[in-house]
Amino acid sequence: MSVKQIPTGKNIDGEEVIAIELTNSKGTYVKIFNYGAIINKFVVKNAKGEMQDIVLGFDTFEEYLDPAYLTAYPYLGTIVGRYANRIKNGSFTIDDETYQLAQNAGTDTLHGGIVGFDKKVWDVIELGDDSQSFVTLQYESVDGEENFPGNLIIDLSFELTENDELILSYEAETDQATAINLTHHGYFNLAPNGGSIKDHKQQIFASNYLEQDDNYSVTGKLIPVAGTPLDFTKPKAIGHDWNEDEGYDQTFVLDKIYGDLSLATKTIEEESGLTLSVYTTEPVAHLYTAKYLSVKNGKGGKDYSSYGAFCVETQHHPNAVNVPAFPSTILRPEDLYTQTTIYKVSLNK
C-alpha cells in the first residue's frame, strides 16, 4: 500500500492543486486531484492481465480547465454539491425562508449551481501510509455560496483497499439549516479500448424509478420498473431496451433499508472480464449513459462522445428538498451528514 502527493505546479485562487495517488499491493491505483475531488485515474488489472484505466479524464490537470471542455461541461470525475442533480425552479424553502438559486439548467438548478464543489480546491487534511492507502479532503462552503444558507464543512475520504474497493466516505456539518445532497460523477467504461457502453451488462437493485418532467427534474412520483425498458432487476445489456437517441438518464429507488450499506448496481463487461459493483448507504442511484458527452482529446488523445461511458450517481432523491414525501435532504446544526459509497472492481471470468 502507498500514498503519494504529486504537485501539479498549478495554483487556483491562491490554492495549490495537488494530485494524490493511492496504490495497493496488486498494483491497482487511483489518482485524485484536490481540485473538484476529481478521480482522474482508476487503473486495475483485467482478465487478460493488462492494466486498464476504467474512468474517463485527461492526461494532464490543465486540460480540465480548458475553455472548450468547460463549454459543454460534463463534470468528468468530479464531486457534485452542494446539491446533486436538479432542484425544480432553482428554489426551496426551509423554516419559512425561501432561497433562490442560479437556474443553470433551463429553469432548474443543476449540480450545485454555477460554481459548485466541482470547481473548488479542497484542502488535503489527512493521508494514509504503507498500511492504509487513503486521503481525506476538506472544503468549507461559506454561508451564501451559490445562495445556499449556512457555513458547511465537508470531509471526503477516498480509500483504496487490497480488495480493489475504492471507498468514498462523506461527512458534513453546518451552522444553519441547509439543503445538501452530495454525489460523485465518475464516468466509467470497462471495455479495454473504450467505445460505446451499450453492450455492458447492467443490473440495478431497484423495483421503482422516479418520474421526470421534460427537463429531467423529478416530480415526486414513483413508477414500477416492471414491464418497462428501465427494468434492470436482472442483468441485461444497457442497449438492449433503450431508446438509442436518448439512452438512460434516470433515478432508481433502491430496494434497501434506508441508511444501510448495500449493493446498488453491478456492471459487467465481457471482453475485459471486469465487473464494477457499487455499494452505497444512499437511497437512490442515478444511471446516466452520457448522452450529452462531447469531449475532445481525452486520455491518449481519444475523443469521448455520446454513450462512451456510464455514471452511477449514488445520492438522495433529486429535488427532495421540494418533495416532502422523499427522505429529507435538510441538514441542521445538531446533525451530521454521512454517506458511504464503494466502487468495487472484480473479475467475472
Catalytic residue among 21, 146, 159, 313: 313
CB–CB of 339/233 below 8 Å?
A: no
Q: Please state, as a whole number, how many other Cβ atoms lie within 10 Å of the Cβ of residue 263.
A: 15
C-alpha cell at 53: 484505466
Is 200 annotated in the active site?
no
**DSSP notation for 236-259:** EETTSSS-TTT--EEEEEESS-TT
User: Burial, 300: exposed, middle or buried (Cβ in 10 Å; 0-12, 13-18, 19+)?
Assistant: exposed
Is 184 annotated in the active site?
no
Pure H helices in 119-268: none
CA distance 35 to 144: 21
For residue 46, give every residue at least 6 positions away whose Cβ sits within 8 Å of its Cβ, in sequence order, or none: 52, 192, 272, 273, 274, 347
Identify the three-state secondary structure at position 217: coil
Q: Which amino acid type is present at position 276?
A: L
Catalytic residue among 21, 145, 184, 185: 185
What are the distances in angstroms from CA 46 to CA 24, 95, 189? 15, 52, 13
CB–CB of 306/293 below 8 Å?
A: yes
CA distance 42 to 192: 13
C-alpha cell at 241: 431496451
CB–CB of 158/32 below 8 Å?
A: yes
Identify the three-state secondary structure at position 341: strand
Active-site positions read: 185, 313
